[in-house]
Structure 1
Amino acid sequence: MSYLLEPLSTNNITLKNRLVMPPMATRKSKKDGRISKNILDYYDEKSRGGYISLIIIEHSFITKRGKASEGQLSVADDNLVEDLKKLSNIIHGNGSKTVMQINHAGSAASKSVTGYEPVGPSAVANPRISNVPKELTEKEIRDIIEEFKSAAHRVKEAGFDGVEIHSAHGYLLNQFFSPLTNKRTDEYGGDVLGRIKIHLEIIKAVRDAVGEDFPILLRLGASDYMKGGTTIEDSKIAAIEFEKARVDILDISGGFCGYTPPDVNKQGYFAPLTQGIKKVVSIPVILTGGITEVDSAEKLLSESKADLIGVGRAIYKDSKWAEKAIKSLK
């Protein structure tokens, strides 16, 4: 029996195999963030045949203040739900499960896009784009927690199979987690537990919004790969707390400013991160990072480097990749 073909079940979601399409920004939405025909056609093409067990929709902004770029998908208003249902229905109709990723860009946002001054955990330069944000007040933090909660509720109402909270790639929750950008001296800063306080409060708020049986995923930038940034040891501490808070799946990535590892041609180059996380949690862990060969996916699973395999660029380039991979194993 192929490792990649084995089903996996966790908290009210059963995946037919271990193949995941990770979130990848397409910038195909309408100017206001609404679903466009282009985005529906894109996900229809990627999900056709249902060979991918789980498709994670690209990061979607929870509030206009947290919009990362033009063309980004929105989940910031109740009036978007009906359009978002079209997206979940297409993917379900093709035979795949789907989760929507929700995000706030924080200091990675631009006033030219949002119309607002960027905000962050501290008024220090974001190494990703070098701008200095306004430091969030505790009230503003509470408002953002509520925005995540409302966005998650919309995701459920739109018929998705789960929701993923984005804490990677230099966006707001990664900014709180990273000592590079979190210099706070209140309860939202300091050690790892302080720096993930906002995460834990968001997870609780989201769980309250979606109920016990709706899967919650969290994408964790498990190492900043920058001097003075987060390390895998920090992320092990965080992962334990996220599991306690009832996150169902951890989706592991890395690199605060984007990351090109020395072994960029190695299949599954974030495997050292997922392997470290798997040692301290019992919930499923997703590995992405340069995986283009089905034999490599099989090997990574057989070596318990991860529970699920995310294949991004290969599927982006070739919509038949999943079909060919799955058929080759049968």
Structure 2
Amino acid sequence: MFYLGEPLTYSKFQLKNRLVMPPMATAKSDEDGRISQDILDYYDEKSRGGYISLVIIEHSYVSQQGKANHNQISVAEDYLVEDLKKLADIIHGNGSKTVMQINHAGSETLREVIGMEPVGPSPVKNPSRKDTAIPQELSKNDIERIIDDFKHAAVRVKNAGFDGVELHSAHGYLLNQFLSPITNKRTDEYGGGIEGRVKIHSEIIRAVRKAVGEDFPILLRFGATDHMEGGITTEDIKTAAEIFERAGVDMLDISGGMCRYTIPGVNEPGYFSPQSEAIKEVVSIPVILTGGIKTADEAEAILREKKADLIGVGRAIYRDSNWARNAMER
């Protein structure tokens, strides 16, 4: 049986226990995306003692076009690497490993944030955020540029000393917009069936892998349900998971898609456990499950039932910086 304190050893990513702090946006960076002292202090407090095996840093934008909100962390320029190193060093000094999540917001942003018109796979309004406009459809040249933006951002993450990089394809952001049939109405090779809708993912994964090398872990946050009519299906997510693993992903981090990080009316711990279970049936890489897990007993129950390999505890750790210590020392 699995327990929260058991090491993860059957992965490229060796972890001392099964507890993960998932990415949660703080809006604490400087306006230009630089790492602020507030960011350093926040992650220092959360990771102190090293009780969390893996800290995944909140989403950071790969280009100005992909910025989601004001005061979001940036990985869009080389000059940011030195400040990012400070963040990795603090978490390592506390005894935890850390991964940085990189993201392009696509249509889930506003002109006032990015200074240009938002873009998406198709000119379809994003259902995950009510105040957004209909985006401009990306051309194939635009897609090639975005793939390069992810690749360069991943290299910056590696150069800053992080232990891996996570690609964000959940919560209604750009890669999730390609993944979901709700927002992807393309008729070229980047649309249609699930193989087409994840083509951009495969190309990003392969580009990142070539740039960072075989030993640097690549994670992918996977919006595995839209919980909306016409959304992604269970068969879709199983096929997509297999494609991601073949392309080079080392770990899948399961969350919501167009429904974002909750499911209306679902209050049981592990909101997305049906999806994580389905994905675990078809992949050999570790699977992280996050959503509504408030106690160590709830986390251990999910591990024992083999619904996931790792447990992300977000809001409980956000509210109580001693949560991880109390869970591991009980």
The interval holding the TM-score normalised by the smaller chain is over 0.9
For normalisation by structure 2, the TM-score amounts to 0.97
Is 2:166 the counterpart of 1:161? no
Q: Is the 8 A contact 1:23 1:101 kept in 2?
A: yes
**Relative to 1, partners in 2 of residues 1:273 and 1:291: Cα closer, same or farther, differing over 3 Å?**
same
- 1:72 counterpart residue number: 72
- 1:239 counterpart residue number: 241
- 1:214 counterpart residue number: 216
Q: Is the 8 A contact 2:165 2:217 kept in 1?
A: yes
Q: Per-residue CA shift, 1:245-293, capped at 9, x if unaligned?
A: 1200000001414354355331112111111110111100000010011
Look up the equivalent residue of 1:98 and give its one-letter code.
T
Is 2:93 the counterpart of 1:93? yes
Task: Report the RMSD for the aligned CA atoms in angstroms.
Answer: 1.2
- 2:231 counterpart residue number: 229
How far has the Cα of 1:131 moved from its partner? 1.5
Look up the equivalent residue of 1:153 and give its one-letter code.
V
Q: Is the 8 A contact 2:2 2:304 kept in 1?
A: no
- 1:49 counterpart residue number: 49
**Relative to 1, partners in 2 of residues 1:262 and 1:104: Cα closer, same or farther, differing over 3 Å?**
closer
* SS across alignment from 1:223: coil
Q: Per-residue CA shift, 1:33-76, capped at 9, x if unaligned?
A: 00000000000000000000000000000001100000100000
Q: Is the 8 A contact 1:99 1:160 kept in 2?
A: yes
How far has the Cα of 1:106 moved from its partner? 0.3
Is 2:11 the counterpart of 1:5? no
Alignment of structure 1 residues 242-261 onto 2, 5 Å: 242-258=244-260, 260-261=262-263
Q: Is the 8 A contact 2:22 2:314 kept in 1?
A: yes
* SS across alignment from 1:17: coil
Aligned residues: 328
For normalisation by structure 1, the TM-score amounts to 0.97
Q: Per-residue CA shift, 1:143-170, capped at 9, x if unaligned?
A: 0000000000000000000000000000
**Relative to 1, partners in 2 of residues 1:274 and 1:123: Cα closer, same or farther, differing over 3 Å?**
same
Q: 2:325 aligns with which of 308, 311, 323?
A: 323
Percent identical residues: 69
Q: Aligned equivalents of 2:234 and 2:285: distance in 1? A: 17
Q: Is the 8 A contact 2:222 2:257 kept in 1?
A: no
**Relative to 1, partners in 2 of residues 1:264 and 1:36: Cα closer, same or farther, differing over 3 Å?**
same
Look up the equivalent residue of 1:256 and give its one-letter code.
M
Look up the equivalent residue of 1:193 and give its one-letter code.
E
* SS across alignment from 1:15: coil
Is 2:167 the counterpart of 1:170? no
Q: Aligned equivalents of 2:189 and 2:321: distance in 1? A: 46
* SS across alignment from 2:107: helix
Q: Aligned equivalents of 1:82 and 1:259: distance in 2? A: 31
Look up the equivalent residue of 2:283 and give its one-letter code.
V
Q: Is the 8 A contact 2:11 2:286 kept in 1?
A: no
Q: Aligned equivalents of 2:99 and 2:321: distance in 1? A: 19
Q: Aligned equivalents of 1:246 and 1:260: distance in 2? A: 28
* SS across alignment from 1:86: helix
- 2:301 counterpart residue number: 299
- 1:18 counterpart residue number: 18
Q: Is the 8 A contact 1:11 1:213 kept in 2?
A: no
How far has the Cα of 1:232 moved from its partner? 2.2
Is 2:122 the counterpart of 1:142? no
Q: Aligned equivalents of 2:13 and 2:253: distance in 1? A: 16
* SS across alignment from 2:266: coil
Look up the equivalent residue of 2:17 and give its one-letter code.
N
Q: Aligned equivalents of 2:235 and 2:255: distance in 1? A: 15
Q: Aligned equivalents of 1:2 and 1:307: distance in 2? A: 8
Q: Aligned equivalents of 2:111 and 2:293: distance in 1? A: 36
Q: Is the 8 A contact 1:10 1:248 kept in 2?
A: no
Q: Name segments (4+ residues, structure 1) moved above 6 Å.
A: none
Look up the equivalent residue of 2:290 and give its one-letter code.
T
Q: Aligned equivalents of 1:4 and 1:20: distance in 2? A: 10
**Relative to 1, partners in 2 of residues 1:262 and 1:297: Cα closer, same or farther, differing over 3 Å?**
same
Q: Is the 8 A contact 1:225 1:231 kept in 2?
A: no
**Relative to 1, partners in 2 of residues 1:2 and 1:123: Cα closer, same or farther, differing over 3 Å?**
closer
Look up the equivalent residue of 1:67 and give its one-letter code.
K
Look up the equivalent residue of 1:207 and give its one-letter code.
R
Q: Aligned equivalents of 1:262 and 1:124: distance in 2? A: 23
**Relative to 1, partners in 2 of residues 1:154 and 1:242: Cα closer, same or farther, differing over 3 Å?**
same
Q: Is the 8 A contact 2:176 2:257 kept in 1?
A: no
How far has the Cα of 1:138 moved from its partner? 0.2
Q: Aligned equivalents of 1:214 and 1:31: distance in 2? A: 30
How far has the Cα of 1:125 moved from its partner? 1.3
Look up the equivalent residue of 1:249 and give its one-letter code.
M
- 1:125 counterpart residue number: 125
* SS across alignment from 1:300: helix
Q: Aligned equivalents of 2:98 and 2:64: distance in 1? A: 24
- 2:266 counterpart residue number: 264
Q: Aligned equivalents of 2:260 and 2:221: distance in 1? A: 14
Look up the equivalent residue of 1:287 and give its one-letter code.
L
